[in-house]
Structure 1
């Protein structure tokens, strides 16, 4: 990974994998501590662990894309769409639900990663 364009994928991949582990690793303990709600229903546990799986899968794809040239474009595009989509959802929540002290820093990071991915797609138009 000698090209700085790969840093976006590597960093966001690691961060999203960690976030996935936080969401689904031990939801009956983490969610009450972190977000203040109990996770007792089997369906909610299943949903949080499925989110963990999605986050781990896309995070791994981004990390692979940072090392494998043939995956870079698709990984960067999916990263940009993921970060843009999640930040859009957080903006909608901020408008309708109010400012979240816990997730506002995440919103800014997601917007940065979205912009960084957009910049990289514009700057590196050819797959190297």
Structure 2
């Protein structure tokens, strides 16, 4: 896809960063229809993370979408290893946020980070298996 045809990603990144800044630093959130400001803050944070992911995907692959198909990867062997390392790191950070730092972060922060880390690990393992042990005859 040509550079001029690449989808816009800067707006998603800016809005996602602002929402995450609000969640992590400012802490402003309306009570909402569920009458819980902390739940609203969690929804704002998850929305910010989602927008940052969309911005990363659009910037990295120069196309709309959400799923990084295997044929989009330039070097799957190296990238899958990096994805696995990032997944393990994210799970470790999630554990730290859910245990020693629990008093300083919103309650579900560790759980959400561990979920994201496990999804990264699954993606990295899928790519490793697809190019290695489960690769069909060519």
Q: TM-score, normalised by structure 1?
A: 0.46
Richer in helix (by share) = 1
Select the structure with the greater relative contact order (CA < 8 A; seq sep ≥ 6).
Answer: 1
Greater gyration radius: 2
